[in-house]
Structure 1
């Protein structure tokens, strides 16, 4: 069973291992971390010391996904524009040795359950680079829908969202936390 827990400094080593090449680094959002290659120290500094560089205090929540085999993925949650009813997922990454096997989907399903049932948000958003087809398919499988394409560097971003009422009528909400 997939579960989530809060990020710990020791997780940074694993996350850095999953971001092995420059393409994966950029698709993960690595340009916000600086230059490739990424180090565990840089990740930990960003996650723990700088609060992810969020402008609002106490608005950066990194999560680690794990199952009986250990840690396999991570993502962050943060509220948008000071509104505690709109949550943004970001910096999603899964162990590269198991990508494409449904782990990212399960991780995000548990994240959505937490967001809607525990945090009580109305909308969850996420962005994905246009050239990241695997992630885009994963997000759609979870129930996110495309809203708009935003021109950004290095690639355009597909902005996606899922509303609580749409999630509640889908089959995705029946998973356990």
Structure 2
């Protein structure tokens, strides 16, 4: 069973270790952190300092997914869109590179969606995925997200996806 807990500074080292090459870094959204390679210090500074000073206060929630043995298996963030507490955005989704493709991402996101809909009471959750990230795209579809539009972006176009509370 996958459980979620809030991110702690010590988690940054684990997340950074999963990002071994520039392609993974870019597909994760790393360009928002600066240049590859990424370090634990950069991740933690972004999460604990820079996003805390954002225009929309109290709008950035990083999560850690862990298994029954307390092993960290994944990570993602939640944030409200445009100050609307009925629409939540998932982002910076990543799973431990040694266990990718084994269903942990699906379990993590399902747990996140349960929290979003049942605890936070949102109506809709959105997520974006680069067109060339087929594995992540398939994972998101498996969870129930549906494609809504393709946005032109650099370095790759983004497939915008969403799931409504009644779609689970």
TM range (shorter): over 0.9
The whole-number CA distance in structure 2 between the counterparts of 1:166 and 1:25 is: 31
Structure 1 residues without counterparts, runs of 5 or longer = 168-177
Structure 1 counterpart of 2:36: 36
After superposition, residues 99-114 of structure 1 pair within 5 angstroms as: 99-114=100-115
The whole-number CA distance in structure 1 between the counterparts of 2:35 and 2:58 is: 26
TM norm structure 1:
0.92
Structure 2 residues without counterparts, runs of 5 or longer = none
Provide closer, same or farther for how the CA distance between residues 54 and 150 of structure 1 changes in structure 2, counting only shifts above 3 A: farther
Structure 1 counterpart of 2:51: 51
Hey, which bits of structure 1, 4+ residues long, moved more than 6 A? none
- Measured after TM superposition, the shift of residue 14 of structure 1 is 0.3
The whole-number CA distance in structure 2 between the counterparts of 1:52 and 1:163 is: 28
C-alpha contact (below 8 Å) 1:51/1:58 kept by paired residues: no
After superposition, residues 78-157 of structure 1 pair within 5 angstroms as: 78-157=79-158
The whole-number CA distance in structure 2 between the counterparts of 1:68 and 1:161 is: 29
Structure 2 counterpart of 1:163: 164
Count of residue pairs the alignment pairs up: 167
- Measured after TM superposition, the shift of residue 133 of structure 1 is 0.3
Supply the RMSD in Å over aligned alpha carbons. Answer: 0.9
The whole-number CA distance in structure 2 between the counterparts of 1:3 and 1:93 is: 15
- Measured after TM superposition, the shift of residue 55 of structure 1 is 2.9
The whole-number CA distance in structure 2 between the counterparts of 1:75 and 1:89 is: 7
C-alpha contact (below 8 Å) 1:46/1:53 kept by paired residues: no
Provide closer, same or farther for how the CA distance between residues 54 and 105 of structure 1 changes in structure 2, counting only shifts above 3 A: farther
TM norm structure 2:
0.97
Give secondary structure in 2 for the equivalent of 1:59. Answer: coil
Provide closer, same or farther for how the CA distance between residues 88 and 37 of structure 1 changes in structure 2, counting only shifts above 3 A: same
